[in-house]
């Protein structure tokens, strides 16, 4: 089954020697995704929404169909719609803007917006910078307090008893924005207490699903977040496209983000009126070819859903055993639920040196802070080497990683 799936990825024919272990950064793309992008550019190549001719209408239908599939992939709510974005980061910037703007009418949907205590946004120390910096930018400007769930030295959430209660006494927590899965440790956090907290206090519950979308889309659905942001490229799709999924009525009630063509009803000299959501958040020409390809990525992920799940378990169980046997410490070991992402340290070797030496052995991994500097502080390291595995990886790839780490250790005599 894995062989059949691997045959869909042209990467392996072009790079037969490379063991690709950097899917947390971006997943490889199957041929059908590449073909869909090519198909748009060669066969249709027209703009959407405003064309009165058949080709444009056909392209519009394709894009609207992908929009529905992208929302349904992470949400069971028929009320949820997808706004196309450039990816998770842009989706979180959009959410941060509209959820803190005084021009958004959120009090009708979320009771916390009626409370006059200092408004606050709850994040965690495990977040990717994409789910910290946008909130900081708007918090500073709009008088919001930023609060963080602490994490322990393994990267697990570590809130002291009564933590949420004490926050609720002091602040009006209007937004709870958390990543379901860490890109550093692969830990799938249990966000259910925070979902309950958001419900009880009338806060908006936002999920950064950049990593979870590939490993655990069912867990995202179970949480039923109010806002979900993810990128196509972590899900075997193209770069430069993603979605922010949210309730249509909430999006209708929120402030616009960028202005331009395609998002208006009527433009006058001094002011304009806007389309309803999702159109009001999609100024300018969209990445149409990428949306076609995104559609094929969603189809691929749906088709191989079972295998993606079983491979996650297979590779994690095998990988954990190999790391333990070789006595290589990795962060997040023993977490409740984890995908096969290994952030590790070789004593005496800087993560970048480890990465370079692994590359000499044709093993492609990532090294650095992984856009998670607050998490690095909690883990008490400045950087880690990270191997992130996906459905197309094999146990043989894990063996090659462990052998290559052995080579690094030999050089550093550790």
In the complex, the residues that contact ligand PLP under the rule CB under 6 A are 87-89, 128, 130-131, 179, 183, 208, 210-211, 231, 233
What is the CB neighbour count within 10 angstroms for residue 400? 17
Beta strands, E only, 97-233: 119-124, 145-149, 172-179, 204-208, 227-231
User: Six-digit token pair at 121?
Assistant: 């946004």
C-beta separation of 237 from 35 below 8 A: no
Q: How far is the CB of 369 from ligand PLP (least distance, A)?
A: 12
> Treating both helix axes as pointing N-terminal to C-terminal, what angle do 395-412 and 351-360 enclose, rounded to 10 degrees?
120
If DSSP codes are grouped into helix, strand and coil, which group holds residue 264?
strand
User: Six-digit token pair at 150?
Assistant: 């602490």
Residue 388 has φ and ψ, to the nearest 5°, of -120, 125
Return all residues near 188 (Cβ < 8 A) that are at least 6 apart.
180, 181, 212, 215, 216, 219, 335, 336, 337, 338, 339
Closer to ligand PLP at the Cβ: 112 or 290? 290
Angular region, 202: left φ>0, alpha ψ -120 to 50, beta rest: left
Active site residues: 371
- Compute the distance between CA of residue 43 and CA of residue 45 in angstroms, rounded to an integer: 6
- Compute the distance between CA of residue 257 and CA of residue 173 in angstroms, rounded to an integer: 23
Q: How far is the CB of 268 from ligand PLP (least distance, A)?
A: 35
If DSSP codes are grouped into helix, strand and coil, which group holds residue 122?
strand
Q: How far is the CB of 329 from ligand PLP (least distance, A)?
A: 22
Q: How many residues are present in the chain?
A: 414
Closer to ligand PLP at the Cβ: 183 or 384? 183
DSSP assignment of 215-263: H-HHHHHHH--SEEEEEGGGGTS-TT-EEEEEEHHHHHTSPP---STTS
Closer to ligand PLP at the Cβ: 233 or 280? 233
User: Which is nearest to 186 in space by CA: 15, 21, 42?
Assistant: 21
Run of H or E including 19? strand 19-20
Give the pairing type, strands 19-20 and 363-364.
parallel
User: Which is nearest to 223 in space by CA: 211, 205, 210?
Assistant: 205
């Amino acid at each position: 089954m894995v062989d059949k799936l691997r045959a869909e990825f042209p990467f392996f024919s072009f790079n037969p020697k490379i063991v690709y272990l950097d899917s947390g950064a971006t997943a490889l793309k199957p041929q059908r995704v590449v073909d869909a992008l090519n198909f748009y550019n060669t066969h249709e190549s027209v703009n959407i929404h405003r064309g009165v001719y058949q080709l444009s209408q056909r392209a519009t239908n394709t894009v609207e169909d992908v929009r529905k599939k992208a929302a349904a992939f992470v949400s069971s709510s028929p009320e949820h719609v997808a706004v196309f974005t450039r990816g998770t980061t842009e989706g979180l910037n959009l959410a941060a803007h509209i959820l803190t703007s005084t021009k958004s009418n959120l009090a009708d949907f979320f009771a916390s917006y009626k409370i006059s205590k200092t408004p606050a946004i709850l994040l965690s120390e495990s977040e990717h910078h994409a789910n910290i910096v946008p909130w900081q930018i708007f918090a500073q400007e709009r008088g919001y307090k930023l609060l963080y769930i602490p994490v322990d030295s393994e990267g697990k959430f570590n809130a002291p008893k009564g933590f949420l209660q004490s926050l609720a006494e002091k602040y009006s927590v209007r937004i709870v924005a958390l990543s379901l899965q860490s890109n550093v440790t692969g830990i799938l956090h249990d966000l259910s207490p925070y979902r309950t907290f958001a419900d009880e206090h009338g806060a908006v519950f936002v999920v950064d699903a950049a990593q979870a979308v590939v490993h655990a889309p069912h867990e995202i659905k179970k949480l039923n977040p109010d806002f979900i942001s993810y990128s196509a490229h972590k899900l075997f799709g193209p770069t430069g496209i993603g979605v922010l999924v949210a309730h249509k009525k909430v999006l209708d009630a929120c402030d616009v983000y960028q202005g331009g063509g395609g998002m208006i009803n009527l433009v006058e000299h001094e002011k304009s009126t806007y389309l309803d959501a999702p159109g009001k958040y999609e100024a300018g020409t969209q990445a149409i070819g990428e949306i076609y390809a995104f559609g094929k990525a969603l189809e691929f992920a749906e088709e191989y859903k079972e295998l993606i799940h079983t491979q996650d378990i297979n590779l994690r169980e095998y990988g954990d055993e190999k790391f333990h046997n070789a006595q290589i410490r990795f962060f997040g070991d023993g977490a409740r639920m984890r995908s096969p992402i290994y952030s590790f340290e070789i004593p005496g070797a800087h993560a970048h040196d480890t990465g370079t030496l692994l590359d000499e052995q044709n093993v492609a991994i990532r090294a650095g802070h992984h856009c998670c500097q607050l998490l690095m502080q909690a883990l008490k390291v400045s950087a880690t080497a990270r191997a992130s595995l996906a459905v197309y990886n094999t146990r043989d790839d894990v063996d090659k990683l462990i052998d290559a780490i052995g080579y690094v250790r030999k050089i550093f005599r550790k």
